[in-house]
Amino acid sequence: MCLIIFAHQCHPRYPLLLAANRDEFFARPTAAAAFWPEHPDLLAGRDLRAGGTWMGVTRDGRFAAITNFRDPQRSEPGQRSRGELPLAYLVGHDSAEHCLERIEASADAYAGFNLLLGHGEAMWYYSNADATGPVLLAPGIYGLSNASLDTPWPKVELGKQRMGTLLNQPVDHQRLQWTVQDPELAPEADLHPLGLNEAMDRQLSAQFIRAGAYGTRATTTLWREPSGALYWRECSFDDSGRQRAVVNETLAPAASPADGRD
């Protein structure tokens, strides 16, 4: 399970506001967010098992994030790692639209996923779990977990409500983190069964998950200003939910901002 809440083109001072949780097994080897030696303009965490990433940004304004699409009817692993999809866009040169066209052509090679790609004022969404195809998002507040964009799971609806409140306040990382940090479990009547046992379905209904060997390993918060400057923070947690490390980075605006639609 993962959770991404973002406000896209909703505030004149902040074209993008985003808070996201990465939920994963604590045993899976992972590197915290950093600039990659082989791609010095890329800031992202790294999956040390498969080599990809779940979220990242670049100095020239690219953004990408992915979540798994959980479907009990499609439980087989894909031929290729989903983490390579955001990485391919972040280190490439194609527009988000053209990149998604290529991804759509080979989408069956991957287990179910939701993918967000952005650059400048544009933000695109694509999932290989439905037939909609790539979608250019209109301005708005969105929530994404492990179903389609804006599926009204309790954790998603709570995050969107909190993000809406934040638009009327000064923005900082602590306030953004608040939008995805609720540890309360959803009421049983509001659960969306995930094909797991009832106890696990309930544990995964919280925004911030503590489920023993599995849970929220990192929370990333970021915002972008009209100048192109981007402010990033990643907080890492252990299996008891205690914060263990923080990565803060500021990316200066690019010399020639792109609109992501070339």
Residue 260 lies in a domain: no
What percentage of residues in the chain have a pLDDT greater than 70? 91
Q: What is the pLDDT of residue 79?
A: 81
Q: What are the phi and psi torsion angles at 167 (to 5°)?
A: -60, -20
Q: What is the mean pLDDT of residues 179-203?
A: 79
Residue 262 has pLDDT above 80, yes or no: no
Quickly count: other Cβ atoms within 10 Å of residue 247's Cβ.
16
Q: Where are the alpha helices (DSSP H) in the chain?
A: 84-90, 96-105, 154-166, 173-178, 198-203
Q: pLDDT tens digits, residue range 194-241?
A: 555 567 778 889 999 999 999 999 999 999 999 999 999 999 999 999
Whole-Å CA distances, 12 to 17, 45, 102, 170, 192: 11, 29, 33, 13, 35
Q: How many domains does the chain fold into?
A: 1
pLDDT, average across residues 9-33: 96
Identify the CA nearest to 235 among candidates 3, 36, 19: 19
Written as six digits, the tokens of 63 are 């953004």
Q: Is 46 helix (H, G, I), strand (E, B) or coil?
A: strand
Inside any domain, residue 30? yes
Q: Average the pLDDT over 119-144 and give the result.
A: 95
Q: Give 156's pLDDT tier (boundaries 50, 70, 90).
A: very high
Whether the CB-CB separation of 125 and 134 falls below 8 Å is answered with: yes
Structure tokens at 17: 């506001």
Across 140-169, average pLDDT? 96
Instruction: Give pLDDT tens digits for 34-77.
Output: 999 999 999 999 999 999 999 999 999 999 999 999 875 655 66
Domain CATH for 178: 3.60.60.10
173 found inside a domain: yes
The answer to the question of residue 17 being in a domain is yes
Q: Quote the DSSP letter at residue 179.
A: T
Q: Specify if 259 maps to a domain.
A: no
3-state DSSP assignment of residue 177: helix
Higher pLDDT, 46 or 132: 46
Residue 56 lies in a domain: yes
Lowest mean pLDDT among 24-33, 67-76, 245-254: 67-76
Is 41 part of a structural domain of the chain?
Answer: yes
Looking at residue 195, its pLDDT comes to 55
Mean pLDDT, the chain, whole residue set: 91
194 and 70 Cβ atoms separated by less than 8 Å: yes
The reply to whether 229 falls in a domain is yes
Range of 207's domain?
A: 2-251
Largest CA distance in the chain: 52
What tens digit of pLDDT does each residue of 85-117 get?
A: 999 999 999 999 999 999 999 999 999 999 999
Q: Measure the CA–CA gap between 120 and 101, rounded to whole angstroms.
A: 19
